[in-house]
Amino acid sequence: MEKKIINLGIFGFGVVGQGLYEVLNRTKGINARIKKICIKDPNKARPIDASYFTTDPNDILNDPTIDVVVELINNTEDAYQIVSTALRNGKAVVSASKRMIAENLPALYQLQVENRVPFLYEASSCASIPIIRNLEEYYDNDLLNAVEGICNGSTNYILTKIFEDNLSFDTALQQAQDLGFAETDPTLDIEGHDPKFKIVILLLHAFGTFVKPEEVYNFGISHLNDFDIQFAKQRGCTIKLIGSCRRSNGHVNAYVLPHLIKEHNLLYDVYNEYNGILLESAFTDKQFFVGKGAGGTATGSAVLSDISALLYNYRYEYKKIIQNNSPIFTNDVQLKVYLRYKSPDQVDLSAFYNISEKYESPTYRYVVGVINLQKLKEANWLKNKEVNLLVLE
């Protein structure tokens, strides 16, 4: 953009919107100002002057003086309508809506190409960690083998409190909600949907592969109980919810699953609402990124970084797509897992390639063995709350 000052039209003024307002006002040297904020409820008390607000989306989308549309709302359909309309109107767009982006990536990519306008969404993946920018710029010609890590601050906070402070799952969840890390309805976080949307986005920037969210298997931490926690502690491990995408033999697989993590693993010491991402490549081996993955100012800082990048005409080039060497997505990969259950009729052990360890007691049973990811994806028995799964290193 050539303008010295860019005008922002913001949709949404919740945790992230207010975080953006705060970091924008505390940051010197970024020539951007908020012109209008579109909100749903005009009667809700807000910490800034009422003149900023409107309830009419067209006050932003059809205002020729607004240069950048910033989309920060929760409703997926409305978010897509806002973003697609803004791109068609020739406006640059910044978004933090991981679900909306993950579910509409091919269409959003096409809109950028057709309308020749940038669409940036660093905040959608790991909040304060600039992972998309690094994949786009630093790793644009590197042969990446894997991108994996903790990409949900809410679940990491809960697991930290369980393992470090011996809190119950429910107490830890309530704390995460009180601090604004988890939503009132925490299902997207604790069932692994939120990190799945992020992995879908990272798959595109790491490997150039478009994948629908429903193709990626996710299993969260809501089935976790005291037996699983003791199993982990007895083996000198902690539990982390890991999102993973990995290339092998011209294919790429992806999933979100809870893992048993040993002390030597860099992700072991990622605590509370922090995220940690490991990259493996042919040329640089392993590199590690860590930063806050939840909270208004952490996510707001990523949004502000995208706004700042627009001042320098930055846009994603999607080089991995252009290179036309994208691996094919598959769920045909073997995982070593711990599977805990109560009675034999609750699980199908015939799905395992092999079982190396087996335990039975009057209260709980478990096996350790190797199973295909596609088998897990198809396993109805994992919907049973008395069954839990952990991936072993």
Strand-strand pairing, 32-38 and 6-11:
parallel
161 is catalytic: no
Q: Tens of pLDDT along 139-194?
A: 877 688 999 999 999 999 999 999 999 999 999 999 988 887 877 778 999 999 99
Q: Tens of pLDDT along 74-116?
A: 899 999 999 999 999 999 999 999 999 999 999 999 999 999 9
Q: Tens of pLDDT along 118-148?
A: 999 999 998 889 999 999 988 877 688 999 9
Give the tokens for residue 32. Answer: 């951007």
Q: Which listed residue (196, 198, 292, 320) is catalytic?
A: 198
Tell me which of 285 and 117 has the higher pLDDT: 117
Q: Tens of pLDDT along 26-70?
A: 887 788 999 999 999 988 888 888 899 999 999 999 999 999 999
Amino acid at 380: N
Q: Tens of pLDDT along 196-251?
A: 999 999 999 999 999 999 999 999 999 999 999 999 999 999 999 999 999 988 89
Q: Looking at the chain, how many residues does it have?
A: 393
Q: Tens of pLDDT along 242-255?
A: 999 999 888 999 99
| Whole-number average pLDDT of the chain | 93
Quick one: fold of 6-129+296-315? Rossmann fold (3.40.50)
* Model pTM score: 0.95
User: Residue 1 has what pLDDT?
Assistant: 58
Tell me which of 103 and 281 has the higher pLDDT: 103
Closest CA to 148 of 339, 276, 271, 44: 276
**Domain locations in the chain?**
6-129+296-315, 331-393
Q: What is the CATH number of domain 331-393?
A: 3.30.70
User: Residue 322 has what pLDDT?
Assistant: 86
